[in-house]
Structure 1
Amino acid sequence: MNKPSMTNANKKIRFLIPAALFAALTAIGAYIKIPLPPVPVSLQTFFVVLSGLLLGSYYGSTSQILYVTMGLIGLPVFVEGGGLFYIVKPTFGYLVGFIFCAYTIGRLVHGKNRELSLQHALHNLQNASSRKIVLACTAGFVAIYIPGVFYLYFISHFYLSNGLTFLQALIGGCLYFLIWDIVKIVLILLFVKFYAKKAV
């Protein structure tokens, strides 16, 4: 193998390692639950959002593709294990939404930059306004809920035939979590601003 090819391979590995780390953190976050009303809240989406903020659109979404792929091939990284059967789970749409979430946030904060180093990401976050970060995170959560709620309704109504209406899917699959999503966005904003300030 020639030297340029080796350099490109090393470069790709350097970006894939953080992506693999965030795939693992996303899996771990599903099991870290805070018993809050009306339903327990996990830290999974916290790590999904951070993957977009710290890795950018390409490798942030790559981390979530890796996470979903690991689950579908049978690794027990989902809340109820893993395997292809998860495709017919009512909550599978949210997992697909994780990919869109990381991509959306990374694109809005960092633009089209594909090979985004952590140092560059932190520099961008330090210079980005709080409003920009909050709007990007909000768009990221919307990117989770759109496929999540529609898939929940579709599977529940047409596959499981339990008669779940779209309004019920919207309330149970989105509105219950909004207040805690707002809290997460505030915590994420404080975290990235503090971390970026210290690291840059």
Structure 2
Amino acid sequence: MTLSKALAPGASRGARAAQVLAGTALLAAASQISVPMFPVPMTLQTLAVLSIGMAMGTRMGVLTVAAWLAEGFMGLPVLANGGSTAAFFGPTAGFLLGFVAMVAVAGIAADRGVKSFLGLTVAGLIAGVVLYVPGLAWPALVMGKAMPDLLAGWMMPFVLGDIVKAVLAALIVSGGWSWLARR
């Protein structure tokens, strides 16, 4: 059972749809908190994606991130720095697609009943690695960037922040489980 199901057992389809919309709102807000960096700003998107996956599970998490991407593709200002449809065709599009894989990996842990801080942290770190696969493959393919350049400029500056965000997501969700257990 996931945290979202534990908090709202037997929720109707309407309630689940509201959870998805709340998740997209959280993700949109987290996307606007950023530190300018190249090639992408450092945002709280990964924290939100991990938290959504760890709390909602694979199915609801993927649905939430897909809905957020659809909102961005329609031109709504939900992506980092307000983003636009062009983000889906630029050099960082692989990271947008990678968020789907990231939330799925975090969601798998939730679906399998992982509730502990340590277990969720490990899941978050693995999900973070998964994000970089399409994130780095896309610019390698469309821009002809060499992998050493991508690792040095497109990954390494973000690794420490991504580790911290994986730990924070695990704290948030394991804390939610602890709170629920005390009720």
TM range (shorter): 0.7 to 0.9
Which residue matches 2:25?
24
* Pairing 1:153–2:155 present: no
Which residue matches 1:102?
103
Aligned residue for 2:32, secondary structure, equals: coil
Which residue matches 1:168?
149
Counterpart-to-counterpart distance in 2, 1:194 and 1:13:
26
CA contact (8 A) 1:94 1:144 kept: yes
Counterpart-to-counterpart distance in 1, 2:172 and 2:106:
16
Which residue matches 1:119?
none
**Alpha carbons of 1:35 and 1:96: their partners in 2 closer, same or farther (altered >3 Å)?**
closer
Superposition deviation, residue 40 in structure 1: 5.9
* Pairing 1:192–2:173 present: yes
Which residue matches 1:11?
12
- For structure 1, the residue ranges without an aligned partner over 5 or more in a row are 1-9, 112-123, 158-163
Which residue matches 1:93?
94
Aligned Cα RMSD in Å? 2.2
Q: 2:124 aligns with which of 137, 144, 155?
A: 137
Residues 8-62 of structure 1 show CA distances to partners (whole Å, capped at 9, x for unaligned) of: xx722221211111112112111112579xx963111100001101111001011
TM-score normalised according to structure 2 size: 0.81
TM-score normalised according to structure 1 size: 0.75
Superposition deviation, residue 143 in structure 1: 1.9
Higher alpha-carbon Rg: 1
Percentage of identical aligned residues: 26
CA contact (8 A) 1:33 1:40 kept: yes
**Alpha carbons of 1:34 and 1:197: their partners in 2 closer, same or farther (altered >3 Å)?**
farther
Superposition deviation, residue 194 in structure 1: 2.2
Aligned partner of 2:102: which letter? C
CA contact (8 A) 1:19 1:55 kept: no
Aligned residue for 2:12, secondary structure, equals: helix
Aligned residue for 1:174, secondary structure, equals: helix
Aligned residue for 1:59, secondary structure, equals: helix
Residues 132-164 of structure 1 show CA distances to partners (whole Å, capped at 9, x for unaligned) of: 21221112112211100111222222xxxxxx3
CA contact (8 A) 1:149 1:169 kept: yes
Greater relative contact order (Cα < 8 A, sep 6+): 2
* Pairing 1:82–2:69 present: no
CA contact (8 A) 2:27 2:68 kept: yes
Counterpart-to-counterpart distance in 2, 1:76 and 1:186:
28
Q: 4+ runs of 1 displaced by more than 4 Å? A: none
CA contact (8 A) 1:93 1:150 kept: yes
